[in-house]
Amino acid sequence: MPIFEYICKDCGARFEAIVHGTRKPECPHCRGKKLEQQLSVFSVGAPKGARPAAGPCGSCGDPRGPGACNLN
């Protein structure tokens, strides 16, 4: 069951709705049916114990990460 994000054209409310089959959602605030579906943004968490990805070295900009310039 996908979760979609909507903006109600009647009252301007933003909300998410789980869509079952071909059922059309309605605004939970005003019960309006004129809805604009939004692009949904989601995030994926890293597994427990995983290190976050390092960015480039702050000193020299080496893309291998902080301190990488000292490895040469």
Give me the pLDDT at residue 41, please: 61
Q: What is the DSSP track for 1-70? A: --EEEEEETTT--EEEEE--TTPPP--TTT----EEEE------PPPTTPPPPP---TTT--TT-TTGGG
**Sheet of 14-18, strand order:** 14-18, 3-8, 35-38
The domain total for the chain is 1
Does the pTM surpass 0.75? The reply is no
Decide if 61 is inside a domain.
no
Decide if 18 is inside a domain.
yes
Decide if 52 is inside a domain.
no
Decide if 11 is inside a domain.
yes
Q: Which domain holds residue 12?
A: 1-41
Mean pLDDT of each 10-residue bin along the chain, 72 residues long: 85 88 88 87 58 66 70 56
Q: CATH no. for residue 12?
A: 2.20.28
